């Protein structure tokens, strides 16, 4: 498929207060996150390269020990196998990320 309506993609629970919707590709994937206020994505790493952008709310990100508050219009890049995680601020957040190659655990 070439065109998607985000609201029509399956919604999956990733963790407490964190839901994702996935747009799969052969060599990359786009993931749309809905994160409740205070929702946490625990520190983790994976072999996939990752880029993301906050489109609503604020996320406190930790990438390889560097912490930043990321808000709409700010973007970030996480290289393969780098420890990272984040927490939403006091309001819900929406984030868009791209992974290459696709994360099988999200499909």
Domains of the chain: 13-106 (2.60.120.10)
Query: In the prediction, which pLDDT does 65 show?
Result: 98
As beta bridge partners, residue 54 has 95
Taken in order 1, 96, 55, 42, is the CA torsion positive or negative?
A: positive
Query: In the prediction, which pLDDT does 2 show?
Result: 87
**CB contact burial 45-58 (16+ within 10 A = b; e otherwise):** eeebbbebebeebb
Residue 100 has pLDDT above 80, yes or no: yes
Average pLDDT over residues 41-66: 98
Model confidence band, residue 55 (pLDDT cutoffs 50, 70, 90): very high
Query: In the prediction, which pLDDT does 105 show?
Result: 96
Residue 1 has pLDDT above 90, yes or no: no
Query: In the prediction, which pLDDT does 62 show?
Result: 99
Query: In the prediction, which pLDDT does 88 show?
Result: 99
Query: In the prediction, which pLDDT does 95 show?
Result: 99
């Amino acid at each position: 498929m070439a065109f998607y309506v985000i609201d029509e993609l399956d919604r999956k629970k990733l963790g407490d207060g964190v839901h994702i919707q996935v747009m799969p590709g052969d060599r990359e994937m786009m993931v749309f996150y809905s994160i409740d206020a205070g929702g946490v994505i625990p520190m983790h790493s994976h072999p996939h390269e990752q880029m993301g952008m906050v489109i609503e709310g604020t996320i406190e990100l930790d990438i390889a020990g560097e912490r930043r508050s990321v808000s709409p219009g700010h973007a970030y890049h996480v290289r393969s196998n780098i420890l990272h995680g984040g927490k939403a601020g006091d309001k819900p957040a929406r984030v868009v990320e791209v992974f290459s190659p696709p994360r099988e655990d999200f499909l």
